Amino acid sequence: MGGDSSNSLPRESPCLSYWQRTTRAFPHLFANQNNPVPARIKSVVLGSGLSGSLTTFELLEAGVKGEDVIILEAREAASGASSRNAGHVRPDAFRGYSAYAKVHGPEQALKIIANERLVLEKVDEFVKKHDVQCDFNLTSTFDVCMTEEFAKYEAESLKAYELAGGDISHIKFYEGEEAKEKTGIPDAVAAYEWPAGSSHPAKLTQFLLQSVMERGVQLFTFCPATAITTNQSSLHLWDVHTPRGIMTAEKIIHCTNAQAALLLPQLESCVTPNRAQAHSLVPSPAFAATNALQSTYSLRYSLYHFYSLIQRQGDGTIILGVSRSNPTLSSETLEGRFSTDDSHYNQEIADDALRSFHQIFPTFSSSDAHGEGLDHSWTGIIAMTPDWVPLVGGIETLPGQYICAGFNGHGMARIFTCAPGVAKLVMGHDWSTTGLPECFQFTPMRISQLSEGNLPFIW
Ligand SMILES: Cc1cc2nc3c(=O)[nH]c(=O)nc-3n(C[C@H](O)[C@H](O)[C@H](O)COP(=O)(O)OP(=O)(O)OC[C@H]3O[C@@H](n4cnc5c(N)ncnc54)[C@H](O)[C@@H]3O)c2cc1C
């Protein structure tokens, strides 16, 4: 099992993230790991990440019976990007507008940004309504410009977004001394602040899995779907092949993230796996107790060189993420990101992240106590699409099959509208009921455009 492209299965021996290391007692981690799959089921959800678990949850909310749904997961429960990310639930407030507008036009670009803002509200609402113990922290985030050039780029992006009619009423701007003081970063040139959150993403996904399993859904872990073929007796049924048997199903929902093309080969050049890395740090006294950071951060030197930062309430752990295309890294490390190998981390990336973090926050300086500082490093695989937006919807050429994947490293800021959207489509509703930007829709024309690869390079 496990290759190095979008048409391979996830690797067999992934490393564990901070999030996984702190949830090893989740009782369904190895659910049904030795049991054969049933011969017949109505619906199969492929993948137990946030996309698969929330889609299943929404199907049940819409009246589907739990006994009629099976989730297949290639490894342990929720072992993909949803349990390996940097913990941010952080909408893009304006920065991506111009880039999205180049590919999708101004109207769609505004909708893409508005959709991320809506997701933050939906996550907040959901966590409160269901009392989800996932350490969700609704706060504000800083986009910190660490260079004059990037401050200029952000100012132009904000202007373009505002001119197009984008809402900026929730965005605050600081420059010079005020930016330094607000962010606590001596080298900050400018900063923008808007509402955002952080969560323990594994706990959120596990809550969803637990909830659907309590209502009759069966999760089969270590049970990848290896092929899907047309059933011999009916063109309206699909045979899902697994190492533990073949299951005949009416509906299949692909929530397989960067590995979607194994079962949907037409996506080979539309979904590209990219390896990303994050780190957990135990705070020094300068970041502990009442000194803990109250907001989250994106620390930006350029479009390709940035770091993300959240500090968790409770245990105070700092989670530090790194941009995948950081030009200060060696060409070998940069090449290595085109991989599905999440079994280990890259030392050069960890060293760069730590060095930069200390430069950006000189006050972090450790008290040298054993146990402080870098705690753990891990990797995970994100799914990039050439037009930077997810693939959501019914697959016309394969009636009864649907997809909800390709979140371009923004799943936490997108899945809470995309998964409910795909669930509506599965229930027979029109695309218009999803409320999603039209450019997210999986259409034959979009797939052929993406496959031709002639989209403008946007950032
Ligand atoms: C290091 C890192 C940092 C990130 N930081 C952030 C962040 O701060 N904020 C943010 O919004 N996003 C972030 N992301 C991206 C975010 O984690 C993803 O967009 C999101 O988790 C995708 O969810 P998913 O359910 O689509 O995929 P996954 O969680 O990967 O779930 C897909 C599942 O499908 C399974 N699978 C694949 N193929 C098969 C098959 N054939 N049969 C059965 N099962 C299969 C996989 O094993 C996996 O469990 C980050 C990602 C990484 C790796």
Q: Are strands 137-145 and 296-300 parallel, antiparallel or unpaired?
A: parallel
C-alpha span between 122 and 200 (Å, rounded): 16
Q: What is the pLDDT of residue 363?
A: 86
Residue 215 Cα to ligand 1 middle (Å): 24
C-alpha span between 208 and 324 (Å, rounded): 29
CB 26 within 8 A of CB 234: no
Please tell me the residue having the least CA distance from ligand 1 atom 26. Answer: 257
Low-confidence ranges of the chain (pLDDT < 50): 1-2
Residue 411: how many other CB atoms lie within 10 Å: 27
Residue 115 Cα to ligand 1 middle (Å): 19
Query: Which atom of ligand 1 is the closest one to the Cα of 308?
Result: 8
Please tell me the residue having the least CA distance from ligand 1 atom 52. Answer: 85
Q: Is residue 9 lining ligand 1, measured as CB closer than 6 Å?
A: yes
Q: Please identify, in words, the CATH class of the domain defined by 18-84+202-271+386-452.
A: alpha beta
Distances (CA, A) of 191 to 150, 181, 274: 11, 10, 28
Q: What is the pLDDT of residue 1?
A: 46
Q: What is the pLDDT of residue 325?
A: 85
HEC string for 373-388: EEEEEEEEEEEECCCC
Question: What CATH code is assigned to 138-196+274-383?
Answer: 3.30.9.10
Residue 165 Cα to ligand 1 middle (Å): 33
Residue 82 Cα to ligand 1 middle (Å): 4
Domains of the chain, by residue range, sit at 18-84+202-271+386-452, 138-196+274-383
CA 237 to chain centre: 31
Calculated CA dihedral for residues 382, 93, 414, 123, nearest 10 degrees: 120
Summarised one tens digit per residue, pLDDT across range 42-91 is 999 999 999 999 999 999 999 999 999 999 999 999 999 999 999 999 99
Q: Is residue 380 lining ligand 1, measured as CB closer than 6 Å?
A: yes
Residue of 48, 55, 56, 85 best suited for mutating to test ligand 1, as the one with most atoms within 8 Å of CB: 85
Please tell me the residue having the least CA distance from ligand 1 atom 34. Answer: 47
Tokens, residue 95: 């920065």
Scan for tokens 């199903």, then name that residue. Answer: 249
Calculated CA dihedral for residues 357, 359, 363, 366, nearest 10 degrees: 60
Distances (CA, A) of 283 to 278, 343, 372: 16, 26, 6
Q: How many helices (H) and strands (E) does the chain have?
A: 11, 17
CA 281 to chain centre: 21
Residue of 116, 252, 259 best suited for mutating to test ligand 1, as the one with most atoms within 8 Å of CB: 259
Q: Is residue 120 lining ligand 1, measured as CB closer than 6 Å?
A: no
Residue 289 Cα to ligand 1 middle (Å): 32
